[in-house]
Structure 1
Amino acid sequence: MISAEYCRLMARYNTWQNASLVTAADRLTNEDRWKDRGAFFRSIAATLNHLYWADALILERQKGNERPEATIKHSLTDPTDWEAFKALRSRRNAEIEEWSARLVDADLNGMLVWYPGDGSTRIEKPKTLVAIQLFNHQTHHRGQVHAMLTAAGAEPGPTDIHLLA
């Protein structure tokens, strides 16, 4: 279905696109980043926080952690400080790239098992599907942030993957 090389490409794309959004959001005030813009998570900052925390959860599942929500708490409001968010986002990007750099195709074989936060239901999915979800989820929400930034007058860079250096 997918390969380790695909994951490395998408990890690089993730870093590139997050940098574009952060650079554009740097041009806004903190109030503008938190302004309710009618998106699913309401604001640019809340949507970026969701992505940050969701990346952590999905990546932990990829690493075999069956109960990542026991230690990783999803938050739309944390961090509130923009500089802190940028540092955390940069580290998460690096973590995703490091994970993908260590992958070999065989690592994507088999199933992953995890339990959601309430621990009630055992979920079992193919490792490839969970890897695809990591990258697809990022792209989905970055598109929302891109639209909100554009509407706010900021100018994120292009999103076409063939422009990735």
Structure 2
Amino acid sequence: MITREYCRVMARYNAWQNRQLSVLLQAVDPEELTRDRKAFFGSILGTLNHLLWGDLAWMSRFDGGAAPGGGIADSPSLCPTLGAWDAKRFRTDGRIRLWADALDSIALQGDLSWYSGSMGQQVSRPLALCVTHMFNHQTHHRGQVHAMMTAAGLNAPVTDLVFLPEENE
């Protein structure tokens, strides 16, 4: 279904997208970032927090490291400020890249089992499907952030995967 190289490219894409968002949002008034925009996770910061929470949850399953506290309903309040989000996001993006760089393609052929709080039960799915879901989840919610930024008259980042800078740029 997917390869180690796919995971490495998507990890780089994720980090690039989040760096662009961080730079663009630094100039935005905190009230604008937390304004309820009637999105599923409320605000721009709430949506960014949910995305970060989801990445931390999936990474805890993939690499056995720390998981975020709380559940999905708590995820929009993971980081109270953009500065706190930025620091945690930077560390998490590094964690995702390290995991992808060390990934064994054979492992992608196996299953992943975990307790799903949202389903209230033990779940087992193909690891490749779970990894694809994590990267798809990132793109989905960053698209929501992009739409909120555009609607608010803010500059939004370039999101096209084909424009991902080369490693040495």
TM-score, structure 2 normalization = 0.89
Is the 8 Å Cα contact of residues 16 and 164 (structure 1) preserved in structure 2?
yes
Is the 8 Å Cα contact of residues 112 and 125 (structure 1) preserved in structure 2?
yes
**Aligned match of 1:72:** 69
> SS where residue 124 of structure 2 aligns?
strand
Q: What whole-Å deviation, never above 9, does each CA across 1:38-70 have from its counterpart, x for those lacking one?
A: 1111100000000111001011112358xx76x
- Cα distance in structure 2, aligned partners of 1:124 and 1:53: 21
C-alpha distance 9-118 of structure 1, shift in aligned 2 (>3 A): closer
Is the 8 Å Cα contact of residues 110 and 127 (structure 1) preserved in structure 2?
yes
Is the 8 Å Cα contact of residues 25 and 149 (structure 1) preserved in structure 2?
no
Is the 8 Å Cα contact of residues 21 and 145 (structure 1) preserved in structure 2?
no
C-alpha deviation, 1:73, in angstroms:
2.6
Q: Does residue 53 of structure 1 match 2:50?
A: no
Is the 8 Å Cα contact of residues 27 and 154 (structure 1) preserved in structure 2?
no
**Aligned match of 1:93:** 93
User: Where do 5+ consecutive residues of structure 1 fail to align?
Assistant: none
Is the 8 Å Cα contact of residues 24 and 149 (structure 1) preserved in structure 2?
no
**Aligned match of 2:13:** 13
- Cα distance in structure 2, aligned partners of 1:126 and 1:72: 25
**Aligned match of 1:102:** 102
C-alpha deviation, 1:79, in angstroms:
1.1
| 1:121-160 matched pairs, under 5 angstroms | 121-160=121-160
| Cα RMSD after superposing both structures | 1.8
C-alpha deviation, 1:86, in angstroms:
0.6
Matched letter for residue 96 of structure 1: I
Q: What whole-Å deviation, never above 9, does each CA across 1:75-96 have from its counterpart, x for those lacking one?
A: 2112112211111110001100
- Cα distance in structure 2, aligned partners of 1:118 and 1:2: 26
- Cα distance in structure 2, aligned partners of 1:91 and 1:102: 17
Q: What whole-Å deviation, never above 9, does each CA across 1:77-124 have from its counterpart, x for those lacking one?
A: 121122111111100011000100001211211111011237841100
Matched letter for residue 147 of structure 2: A
Is the 8 Å Cα contact of residues 50 and 78 (structure 2) preserved in structure 1?
no
- The number of residue pairs the alignment matches comes to 162
C-alpha deviation, 1:7, in angstroms:
0.1
TM-score, structure 1 normalization = 0.91
**1 or 2 for the larger relative contact order (CA 8 Å, sep ≥6)?**
1
Q: Which runs of 4+ in 1 moved over 2 A?
A: 71-75, 117-120
Matched letter for residue 102 of structure 1: A
**Percent of pairs with identical residues:** 43
**Aligned match of 2:43:** 43
